[in-house]
Structure 1
Amino acid sequence: MPAARTVPPTGPPAAPRVRAAGLWWLALSALAIAVFAPLPYLLHPLRELAANGGEIAANYAPRPGWVRAALAAHVLLGGLALLLSPVQLSSRVRARFPRLHRVSGRVVLASIAVAGTAGFLLAWFTVAGPVGTAGFGLLAVLWMGFALSGLRAIRRRDVVAHRRWMLRTFAMTYAAVTLRLWLLVLIPLLGGFAAAYVLVPFLCWVPNLAVAELVLRRRSSA
């Protein structure tokens, strides 16, 4: 009787590999934007950025001091929230370093509170006009609302609800990345920054939130 053939291992299934690749993309893209997006504002004054062709800087440079302070708070603390959010979503960090998860979570929530408030104020001065005020203003309100719901859930020790709310919060935080990705696509298609920027106030976060809801629905039905 012939010996049974041994089937060599074929490695992990495709789905976990795809999921891992997606998580790495989210983490690395968030890191890139969190680090490089604030750099121009840290290294150069707004008026210098405006003189060199920065459309956003040109819009905010002549504004009152409190508006410029809100822009700085939004850029810096929004970047910090984006930088730390992938750490918060990591199940390995939660399991191995629970204290790091808690401390980092407090920093993220505080950063979102300040950056979201600043973002809501800035929405009234955006170059995208009324569409921008509506889109960015709603983004700021939902961002802070989701984060607050996540905080309330964990305070009552509802871990499942906390994780669901924080996934929605990350979808809004990640709008900093998707906004720039959309601009990369839309500027060549529409022929300029102004035309492209009118479309991103909703595009930068509505698809993110839709994907987050689909993920949550699949988890609930699994």
Structure 2
Amino acid sequence: MSGAATSASTTSTSRPSGAGWPVAALVLLSAIPLSAGTLRLVQLSGGPDVMPADDRFTGFPVALVLHIVGSACFALFGIGQLLTRFRRRHRTWHRRMGRILVLAGLAVVGSALWLTLGYPPHPGTGPVLLASRVVVSLATGTFLVLGFTAVRRRDITAHRAWMIRAYALALGAGTQAFTEGATEAFVGVGELSGDVAKLAGWLINLAIAEWAIRRPARDRRRSSARRVTAAGAR
């Protein structure tokens, strides 16, 4: 009976990391910006104006289209890469899709820099957001490259950590819908407050990513402490 209990405890505490990812939350954070991006593409292709027009873009700008399509691929297919059970059952898919997602992510990074530096800033935004977008774009690209090089040298732990960080930053636009809404409700509308609200979206996601990256180590320490305590009790 004691052996069975110990075995069950070990199985529970050594559950593969990523099994508890809140899929619904990831889908929601992906759907918010992707819905806006899809509506923008419909508008640019001559469809109905279901959202306010952006005078900065005329015709069918390559940078914006690349950014929206790349973001859609990276955000939606990236969810499957985070789920341990799915990843272990579909290793070939994981490897092939991983290469595609790295390319999609780098396309998002390049187009983001293109849009930030090559087009006038969106009305109502300021230098804080401009600097934040440049830093976040460069950081995301760096994380993707580090994640790819890590898996090439078989360092799966580092690969997982860098890719989670990259994915967290890529989902910043989804979290920004909530941080901007809360800021407008409590502070009001303003250039600086709006910039800070967007920056907060990226920082919140990155903080959650760091928590998720360190969770397996914490679980192992707790499991080890429980086994030592159980051994001492016997």
Bin the TM-score by the shorter chain.
0.7 to 0.9
After superposition, residues 61-76 of structure 1 pair within 5 angstroms as 61=57, 68-76=61-69
> Please, which moves more after superposition, 166-175 or 24-33?
24-33
Matched, 1:120 2:117: no
Secondary structure at the residue paired with 2:154? coil
Partner amino acid, structure 1, of 2:86:
V
Separation in 2, partners of 1:163, 1:117: 22
Partner amino acid, structure 2, of 1:117:
G
Match of 1:177 in 2: 174
- Which structure is higher in RCO with an 8 Å CA cutoff and minimum separation 6? 2
Q: Is the 2:179–2:197 Cα contact (8 Å) retained in structure 1?
A: yes
Match of 2:81 in 1: 88
> Please, which moves more after superposition, 84-93 or 117-126?
117-126
Question: Deviation per CA, 1:34-77, whole angstroms, max 9, x where unpaired?
Answer: 6523221221128988x7762xx425226xx79x3212211221
Matched, 1:167 2:160: no
Aligned equivalent of 1:206, options 203, 208, 214: 203
Match of 1:105 in 2: 98
Match of 1:143 in 2: 140
Secondary structure at the residue paired with 1:198? helix
Separation in 2, partners of 1:79, 1:210: 23
Matched, 1:186 2:183: yes
Match of 2:226 in 1: none
> Please, which moves more after superposition, 195-204 or 77-86?
195-204
Matched, 1:79 2:72: yes
Separation in 1, partners of 2:100, 2:107: 11
Aligned equivalent of 1:133, options 130, 133, 136: 130
Q: How far 1:216 moved relative to its partner?
A: 2.3
The TM-score with structure 2 as length reference comes to: 0.73
Q: Is the 1:38–1:75 Cα contact (8 Å) retained in structure 2?
A: yes
Q: RMSD over aligned Cα, in angstroms? A: 2.9
Question: Deviation per CA, 1:80-139, whole angstroms, max 9, x where unpaired?
Answer: 101111111011121111111112211211111111111122223332221111111111
Question: Aligned in 2, Cα 1:136/1:219: closer, same or farther, shift over 3 Å?
Answer: same
Q: Gaps spanning 5+ residues in structure 2: where?
A: 1-11, 221-234
Separation in 2, partners of 1:160, 1:48: 46
The share of aligned pairs that are identical, in percent, is 25
Secondary structure at the residue paired with 1:60? coil
